[in-house]
């Protein structure tokens, strides 16, 4: 059983052994899109909620809040993660890149431009996660990280449609823009080769 106390960020917990007080907030510094941001969060706050509710970066979307749709994908210290599945306080001093940090309306990231060119979205709700994931996917292939469909584990993985589909399989699009998303990613991959 628990009762909220008067002190902000404190809860009084009633346990079988008596009543105890605990502080549930923590100061946190994140480097978000290249800028150091200080925030104080309840330690139970997910990274997704910290970005959206504390920092008002609403480009990152909440779809399922259970790690099943990929709408909340952001890049943390160079790796993509589902921000709904991780607590903000686990990322002290981490570098976080959200869709807002990849490009701007006047200066789109190549992946954003490719999604526009290939019509890689309809409602757009999954798109920030799709784009953050796509950017990280190309880096993963470039870094030689194998996937479930990589047959040859000795040579670097090839940039095939199967590799991209498999690696993007955690990003669900209810509008079904998958073939155009694949075309956009392949276009950027091709551009990076030349």
Binding of ligand FES at residue 76 (CB under 6 A)? Answer: no
CB of 147: closest distance to ligand FES in angstroms? 19
126 touches ligand FES (CB under 6 A):
yes
Interface region with ligand FES, contact rule CB under 6 A, candidates 93-101, 103-111, 116-124, 133-141: 116-124
Does residue number 72 form part of the binding site for ligand FES (CB under 6 A)? yes
CB nearer ligand FES, residue 69 or residue 141? 69
- Cβ-based nearer residue to ligand FES, 28 or 84: 84
The Cα–Cα gap between 36 and 29 comes to 7
Give the integer Cα–Cα distance in Å for 32 and 76.
9
63 makes contact with ligand FES (CB under 6 A): yes
Instruction: For residue 100, report the phi and psi dihedrals to the nearest 5 degrees.
Output: -70, -20
Whole-angstrom distance, CA of residue 107 vs CA of residue 167: 27
Is residue 82 a contact residue for ligand FES (CB under 6 A)? yes
Sequence-ordered alpha helix ranges (H) in 81-143: 99-102, 110-117, 127-142
């Amino acid at each position: 059983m628990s009762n909220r106390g008067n002190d902000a960020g404190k809860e009084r917990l009633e346990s079988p052994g008596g009543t105890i007080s605990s502080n549930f907030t923590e100061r946190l510094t994140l480097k978000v899109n290249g800028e150091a941001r200080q925030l104080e969060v309840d330690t139970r706050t997910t990274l997704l909620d910290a970005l959206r509710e504390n920092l008002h970066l609403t480009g990152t979307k909440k779809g399922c809040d259970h790690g099943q749709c990929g709408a909340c994908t952001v890049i943390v210290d160079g790796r993509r993660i589902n921000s709904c599945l991780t607590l903000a306080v686990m990322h002290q001093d981490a570098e976080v890149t959200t869709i807002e940090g990849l490009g701007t309306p006047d200066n789109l990231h190549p992946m954003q431009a490719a999604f526009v060119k290939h019509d890689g979205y309809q409602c757009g709700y999954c798109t920030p996660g799709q784009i953050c994931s796509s950017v990280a996917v190309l880096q993963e292939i470039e870094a030689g990280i194998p996937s479930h469909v990589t047959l040859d584990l000795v040579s670097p993985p090839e940039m095939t449609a199967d590799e991209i589909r498999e690696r993007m399989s955690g990003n669900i699009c209810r509008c079904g823009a998958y073939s155009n998303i694949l075309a956009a990613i392949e276009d950027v991959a091709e551009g990076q080769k030349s």
